Amino acid sequence: MAPRILLARHGQTAWSRSGRHTGLTDLPLLDEGRADAGLLGGRLAAEPFAGLPQVEVRTSPLVRARETAELAGFGERATPWDALVEWRYGEYEGLTPDEIHARQPGWLVWRDGAPGGESTQEVSDRADEVVAWARSADRDVLLFAHGHILRALGARWLGLPIAFGARIRLAPASLSVLGWSYGEPALESWNDTGHLAG
């Protein structure tokens, strides 16, 4: 079986709710985020995933991702990996898009990177490291991480520049699957939130 990557974005935090760029700021989940992480775990425990007994699990070391992995039932199986941390936003950490555009009109992280933080090339290189690792063995992997790095992974899995990530949004506690179609890398599903209440 060719390997797949299952992507789980962390649950809602105060900054993800307000649209603030959250890179290395280590925020916990809100109660809503904790509940949604449990619902994500229920989804992964049910068919067709059946608890993913053979999957290799990795998580961003940041608390919001680790907590999501734990509440989803994968905490003991998850290995922290620095390659999965969120984009380092540098001077734009904690700012909303409107606040950033007041400083730098027309700014787009997918094109411009982050001043004092990571460039698009640095994030692309991290995403490539994860993709190469995922394809290195005949097993599926489950990754708990963050919106922008997971979108970058989606782009690089497909062999596209990470700028493609601007076109594939991810909701908190969503589930996505990167797989194969006719021998080529493909999006099996993206931004699936059918397991969430409401």
Nearest to 194 by CA among 36, 70, 82: 36
25 carries a ligand binding annotation = no
pLDDT of residue 69: 98
pLDDT of residue 101: 93
Which of these ranges, 11-15, 42-46, 85-89, 136-140, has the smallest mean pLDDT? Answer: 136-140
Which residue reads 């179609």 in tokens? 181
Q: What is the pLDDT of residues 172-187, one digit of tens each?
A: 999 999 999 999 999 9
pLDDT of residue 51: 87
pLDDT of residue 138: 86
Maximum Cα interatomic distance, the chain, rounded to a whole number of Å:
49
- CB neighbour class for 159 (10 Å; exposed up to 12, middle 13-18, buried from 19): exposed
Q: What is the pLDDT of residues 36-78, one digit of tens each?
A: 999 999 999 999 998 898 999 999 999 999 999 999 999 999 9
For the segment 3-21, the average pLDDT, to the nearest whole number, is 94
22 carries a ligand binding annotation = yes
106 carries a ligand binding annotation = no
pLDDT of residue 60: 98
87 carries a ligand binding annotation = yes
Q: What is the mean pLDDT of the chain?
A: 94
What's the whole-model pTM score? 0.95
The answer to whether 29 touches 13, Cβ cutoff 8 Å, is: yes
Q: What are phi and psi of 154, to 5 degrees?
A: -60, -45
Nearest to 41 by CA among 77, 10, 74, 78: 74
- Catalytic positions are 10, 86
Percent of the chain with pLDDT over 70: 98
64 carries a ligand binding annotation = yes
pLDDT of residue 88: 96
Domains in the chain, CATH or no CATH each = 5-192 (3.40.50.1240)
Q: Can you state the angle between helices 31-45 and 63-71, rounded to 10 degrees?
A: 50
pLDDT over 90 (residue 1): no
pLDDT over 80 (residue 197): no
pLDDT of residue 43: 94
Q: What is the pLDDT of residues 72-124, one digit of tens each?
A: 999 999 999 999 999 999 999 999 999 999 999 999 999 999 999 999 999 99
